[in-house]
Copies of this chain bind each other. A is one copy, B any other.
C-alpha cells in the first residue's frame, strides 16, 4: 500500500509468517470456526512444518485476540460476540474520530491524498465482498496514515485486524443494499474533512455509526 518503506532486509518470508497467514486465512474464511480447538502438533503436521513456527504464529494470533489459550487443551478460536462488535466500533470512533480531526487541522495535501484514495476506488468490483472490504479499509486507513502518527496507525490496524470477518460482511451489505459505490459513500466524509475539525470529527462519528447500523440489520 505504501512505497518502499524498508529497502533493507528482505529476509525471505519466514515459516512463522506463512503459518500465521495460513491460519489467519482459515479463521477468516470460516474453515475453522469459533470455539474450535487449535493444537500445535496438529497444525504443524497439517502445514508440514515443525511446531516452532506454528507456536510463533499462535502466540501472535493470541496477542491479536483471535485465539486464546485453553490451558493444556490447546488454543480456542475466539468468538466475537455482538457486544464485542459494538466495542470495536467504539474503538474505531475513538481512533478514527481523532484522526479525522487531526487531518482537518493539517489540511492541504493530507486531505487531497485522502480524496485521491477515495476516488481511486471507483472501479472496484462491487460483487466481491473482499474487494469492497479492502477498499473501505484502505480509505479509512489512509485517513489515519496522513495524520503522520504511526502510533495511531498501529491502533487502527489492531482494531481492524480483530474485526475482520464481521465487519467485512457488514460493509459488503452496506454497499450492496444501498447500491452506492465505495467512492460515493465516502465523498461526504472528504467534504467533512474540509469543513473544519469539528465537522470532520462529527462526520467520522456519523459515518462509523452508520456502519454499525448496517451491521445490526
Chain A residues within CB distance 8 Å of chain B? 6, 8-9, 11, 56, 59-60, 63, 65, 69, 71, 84, 87-88, 90-91, 93-95, 97-99, 102, 147, 149-152, 154-155, 158-159, 162
Does more than half of chain A's interface fall in helix, strand or loop, or is it mixed? helix
The contact of A158 among B60, B99, B149, B155, by CB within 8 Å, is B155
Residues of B within 8 A of A151 (CB): 84, 87-88, 90-91, 159, 162
Nearest-CB residue, chain B, relative to A69: B9
Q: What are 11 contact pairs spanning A and B, CB under 8 A? A: A9-B69, A65-B154, A87-B149, A90-B149, A94-B94, A94-B95, A94-B98, A94-B99, A98-B98, A155-B158, A158-B158
CA A94 – CA B147 in complex, angstroms? 12
CA A152 – CA B83 in complex, angstroms? 13
Residue from the set A8, A95, A147 with the largest chain B CB neighbour count within 10 Å: A95
The contact of A150 among B71, B87, B150, by CB within 8 Å, is B87
**B90/A98 in contact, CB under 8 A:** yes
